[in-house]
Structure formats: C-alpha cells, structure tokens
C-alpha cells in the first residue's frame, strides 16, 4: 500500500511525545485512543513543570511579585485560548474542569434561569453523555422537553429532521462539533443559522472539535462552545467554556465561593464580573497555563496542515480497514465529512475481545459504548471498537491495526 507524503513532519512531532516510544507486550506501542485522551507533548509538560518551579502562587489575591506573576500567567493563558477560539473578548473565556463541566455550567445556570415547562431543548443522537445528561437534569427540574435529531445511514445529522423539530418552543440546541464515536463533523454554521431563525441558542460541545478543526466561534456563530484541554494535547482537569458576553453576564453564577464575588454580606452577595463570576475557588492555574501551551503547540503545527494530514490518514485507514474481511466501519464515507475516528465492528467478535487481542499486539483502542448509548441504540449495536488517531499517528499505525485484526480473525475463526 503506498504511503502518502505527510504535510508536516510527523516524525518530528512524535519526538515531542516520549510516551509513544515504548513497547507494550513486546511490541512498539500504537496509540489509537486519542478521542478518549490525547498524549501530551514535551513543551506542554515543560510549561507545567516550569510554572511550578518558578511562578507558582495563588492568583488574584497576593500583593507580592510571585502572585502577580502567577495571575499574569493565568490571564495570559485565557487570552491565548480566546485567540485560539477567535473569541471577541477574553472575558468570554471561562476556565472549567473540562467539556463536561462547561456544559453542566450552561445547563444549570442558563437552563434554570430560562427554561420553563413545555420549552424544548434539541440534542442529537450523536451526543456524548456529557451533552445529554446535564440537559436531562435541568429538564427534570424545569419541565422542559428534550428532542433528538436523527442521523442518516452514514452517521450524518439529518438537517431535514432538525427542521421538523425546530419550532417556537425551541429554546436551545446542544450539538457536538465532531462526534467522538463516529468522527462525523457537523455543519455547525448551518445549524446555527437554522437554530437562530427560531430565536433559540446553540451550544456546541467542542471536546472533539477543538483538537481537530480550526475553531472560530464568531464564524460558527454559536452561542456557547465547550472545550476540553486533555483532548487537544493539554492536561486533564482543565477546559474552557466560551460564551457570548451578554449571555454570560445575564446568567446566574454556577458555584459559590471565593473569587466569584464582589461583596459578601450576611444574607446575600454580589458577583464579580464575568468570567470570574463563574470561577469559584482556587482555579487550576498550572492546568490553564498547560492548556494554553497546548493551543500554542497546535497553532505552531497549523490547523490547515493538521487537517490535510488527517485527510490523508483517513484515506489510508479506510483502505487498510476495508481490506480486512468482516470489518464494517460506521460513520461518513467521505473523508471531508469526518475526522480520523473509526468505530467499527468485526463480524462475529465482541468489541471487548477485539480490544483485548489488539492490546496483546501492543495496540491501544477503545471498546464499548463510548459514552454514546443513544447512538449505539440507534446503530442497533451493543458496542463498537474505536480506533482514534491524532497528529502523532502514521499510516503504519493503521497497517499494524489491520494486521492485528487479521490475528483476531484467526483466533475466532
Ligand atoms: N463531549 C465529547 C464529544 C467527548 O468526546 C468528551 C470526552 O470523551 C466529553 C464531551 C467530555 O469531555 P471532558 O473529558 O473534558 O469532560
């Protein structure tokens, strides 16, 4: 099989990820589980350790040099994320623990303040549980009703079904930018146009979007965008909620505590300005600095180069997997409509057995429902095996995967 020329130097990128240079079960490791969590490059690890070695102190409190420096690093990281997302203003960037917390924040605060019985929130059957359960919780509290947009036989959202669901009752749609289970890239700007036409808001779960696709929240014209640090080469436990400033300003706080207040009086308090109104307690400053370093790392490679590289990898992976008898890959066929996340079934073999044998071959993949049980039900499968690639993966990794799937077939023949 011919190997396409890379559009950036993958070998150089791989050298930034020492974790990849190890053997698992006596074989050079192939890491194909980046949709669950990406690996971290040396510049990100070094930035976090340098922060603790030289700049660590609590932020927004001290009148001394070290605290001023930590605060400046923290707020500079916010500016980096604002520019990564092309936000209109850095005050629109709220630090959170990850995409899950970003969505919970909006569901709990905006939802509680704005949803009433009979109002509708539109989700899709592609969503990760993080973009379903928070809405179920707020729907149970407010009497709002959830609706789900269906997919076609390639796992693409059916915009004709969205049009049927949209109405004067719709208050918000919450939709993933990219499906973690099928790799489908959703047409967010188009969805935003339709959602806004009925006067509703659009929240985008960008946990899988930000690592792979250039994100411009202004061009996407969404109202909220949730990002996870650990899926885009940053640390775990940090993420960003971007929201339109006027919406964030109108929303009640999420958690109460230090940092988020203006005045605390015996019976009630007043709030700090956004984004600090939503950042109660000591934040993960090193995490924020590390996430900004990850954004800088990806920006240095360049989103166009990343996307072009990924398109080549997808084509190669489709050929490699397509050559294994009994493999059925879910999701869009056209590489332009997907990222390099491949959920598949191997006829007659349970995904857990597939993953166990792949592990013995040194290949890390995920098997299960991928936190997308609504989607699994829609696909009428209990689970799938998922191989998900990122900037450090090569065509060889998919050749190794295809060869190991032949081993699985032999074992279960
Ligand atoms: N949304 C999607 C599409 C995801 O893939 C994930 C993680 O698997 C999440 C949300 C949750 O993100 P986090 O781990 O940052 O809470």
Q: Closest residue (by CA) to atom 12 of ligand 1?
A: 99
> Is residue 342 a contact partner of residue 329, using CB atoms and an 8 Å limit?
yes
Distance 195 CA to ligand 1 centre (A): 23
Could you tell me what percent of the chain has a pLDDT over 70?
A: 99
> Is residue 20 a contact partner of residue 356, using CB atoms and an 8 Å limit?
no
Q: Quick one: DSSP state of residue 273? A: P
Distance 135 CA to ligand 1 centre (A): 15
Give me Rg for the CA atoms of the chain: 22
Distance 204 CA to ligand 1 centre (A): 12
Distance 208 CA to ligand 1 centre (A): 7
Q: How many CA atoms lie within 13 A of 11 on its CB side?
A: 1
pLDDT of residue 246: 98
User: Is any atom of ligand 1 closer than 6 Å to the C-beta of 41?
Assistant: no
> Is residue 240 a contact partner of residue 102, using CB atoms and an 8 Å limit?
yes
Cis peptide bond upstream of 275, omega within 30: yes
User: Is any atom of ligand 1 closer than 6 Å to the C-beta of 176?
Assistant: yes
- Which domains are present in the chain? 10-37+302-411 (3.90.1150.10), 45-300 (3.40.640.10)
User: Is any atom of ligand 1 closer than 6 Å to the C-beta of 287?
Assistant: no
- Mutational pocket test of ligand 1: of 81, 124, 205, the residue with most ligand atoms within 8 Å of the beta carbon: 205
User: Is any atom of ligand 1 closer than 6 Å to the C-beta of 384?
Assistant: no
Region class of 348: left (phi > 0), else alpha (psi between -120 and 50), else beta:
left
User: Is any atom of ligand 1 closer than 6 Å to the C-beta of 100?
Assistant: yes
User: Is any atom of ligand 1 closer than 6 Å to the C-beta of 375?
Assistant: no
Using 50, 70 and 90 to split pLDDT, how confident is the model at 4?
low
User: Is any atom of ligand 1 closer than 6 Å to the C-beta of 34?
Assistant: no
Share the mean pLDDT of the chain: 97
d(CA 257, CA 276): 11
pLDDT of residue 1: 53
Could you say which of 125, 175, 222, 371 is catalytic? 371
pLDDT tens figures, 221-248: 999 999 999 999 999 999 999 999 999 9
- Mutational pocket test of ligand 1: of 94, 96, 182, 231, the residue with most ligand atoms within 8 Å of the beta carbon: 231
The answer to whether 371 is a known catalytic residue is: yes
| Burial group, residue 204, by CB count within 10 angstroms (0-12, 13-18, 19+) | buried
Residue 5, pLDDT > 70, answer: no
Residue 3, pLDDT > 60, answer: no
Using 50, 70 and 90 to split pLDDT, how confident is the model at 413?
confident
User: Is any atom of ligand 1 closer than 6 Å to the C-beta of 208?
Assistant: yes
Torsions phi, psi of 230, nearest 5? -75, -10
Q: Closest residue (by CA) to atom 5 of ligand 1?
A: 180
pLDDT of residue 391: 98
Query: Quick one: angle between helices 42-50 and 285-301, nearest 10?
Result: 150
DSSP 147-189: EEE-B-TTS-B-HHHHHHH-STTEEEEEEESB-TTT-BBP-HH
pLDDT tens figures, 267-299: 999 999 999 999 999 999 999 999 999 999 999
> Is residue 367 a contact partner of residue 384, using CB atoms and an 8 Å limit?
yes
pTM: 0.97
d(CA 123, CA 148): 5
Query: How far is CA 173 from each of CA 159, 165, 195, 233, rounded to the nearest angstrom?
Result: 13, 10, 7, 28
> Is residue 143 a contact partner of residue 116, using CB atoms and an 8 Å limit?
yes
Using 50, 70 and 90 to split pLDDT, how confident is the model at 211?
very high
* Contacts (Cβ under 8 Å, ≥6 apart) of 340: 183, 310, 313, 314, 317, 388, 389, 390, 393
Q: Quick one: DSSP state of residue 3? A: P
Distance 373 CA to ligand 1 centre (A): 14
Q: Taking every pair of C-alpha atoms in the chain, what is the biggest distance, in angstroms?
A: 72
| Burial group, residue 62, by CB count within 10 angstroms (0-12, 13-18, 19+) | middle
Region class of 335: left (phi > 0), else alpha (psi between -120 and 50), else beta:
alpha
Average pLDDT over residues 53-68: 93
Region class of 319: left (phi > 0), else alpha (psi between -120 and 50), else beta:
alpha
Q: Which residues pair with 122 in a beta bridge?
A: 147, 173
């Amino acid at each position: 099989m011919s190997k396409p020329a890379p559009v950036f130097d993958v070998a150089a990128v791989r050298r930034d990820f020492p974790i990849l240079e190890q053997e698992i079960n006596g074989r050079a490791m192939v890491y194909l589980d980046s949709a669950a969590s990406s690996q971290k490059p040396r510049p990100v690890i070094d930035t976090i350790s340098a922060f603790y070695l030289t700049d660590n102190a609590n932020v927004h409190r001290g009148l001394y040099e070290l605290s001023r420096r930590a605060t400046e690093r923290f707020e500079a990281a916010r500016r980096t994320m604002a520019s990564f997302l092309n936000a209109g203003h850095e005050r629109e960037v709220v630090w959170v623990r990850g995409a899950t917390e970003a969505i919970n924040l909006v569901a709990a605060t905006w939802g509680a303040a704005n949803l009433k019985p009979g109002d509708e929130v539109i989700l899709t059957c592609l969503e990760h549980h993080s973009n379903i359960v928070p809405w179920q919780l707020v729907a149970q509290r407010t009497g709002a009703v959830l609706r789900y947009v269906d997919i076609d036989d390639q796992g693409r959202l059916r915009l004709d079904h969205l049009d049927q669901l949209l109405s004067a009752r719709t208050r918000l749609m919450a939709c993933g930018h990219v499906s973690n289970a099928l790799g489908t890239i959703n047409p967010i700007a188009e969805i935003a146009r339709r959602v806004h036409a009925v006067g509703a808001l659009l929240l985008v779960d960008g946990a899988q979007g930000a690592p792979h696709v250039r994100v411009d929240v202004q061009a996407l014209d969404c109202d909220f965008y949730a990002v996870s640090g650990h899926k885009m080469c940053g640390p775990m436990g940090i993420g960003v909620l971007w929201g339109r400033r006027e919406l964030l300003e109108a929303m009640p706080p999420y958690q109460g505590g230090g940092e988020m207040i203006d005045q605390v009086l015996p019976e009630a308090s007043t709030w700090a300005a956004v984004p600090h109104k939503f950042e109660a307690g000591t934040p993960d400053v090193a995490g924020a600095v590390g996430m900004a370093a990850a954004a800088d790392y990806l920006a240095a490679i360049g989103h166009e180069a990343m996307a072009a590289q990924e398109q080549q990898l997808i084509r190669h992976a489709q050929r490699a997997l397509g050559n294994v008898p009994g493999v059925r890959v879910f999701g869009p066929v056209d590489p332009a409509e997907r990222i390099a996340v491949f959920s598949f079934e191997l006829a007659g073999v349970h995904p857990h057995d597939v993953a166990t044998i792949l592990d013995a071959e040194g290949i890390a993949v995920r098997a299960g429902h991928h936190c997308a049980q609504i989607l699994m039900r829609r696909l009428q499968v209990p689970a799938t095996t998922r191989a998900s690639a990122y900037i450090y993966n090569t065509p060889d990794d998919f050749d190794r995967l295809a060869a190991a799937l032949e081993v699985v077939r032999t074992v279960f023949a």
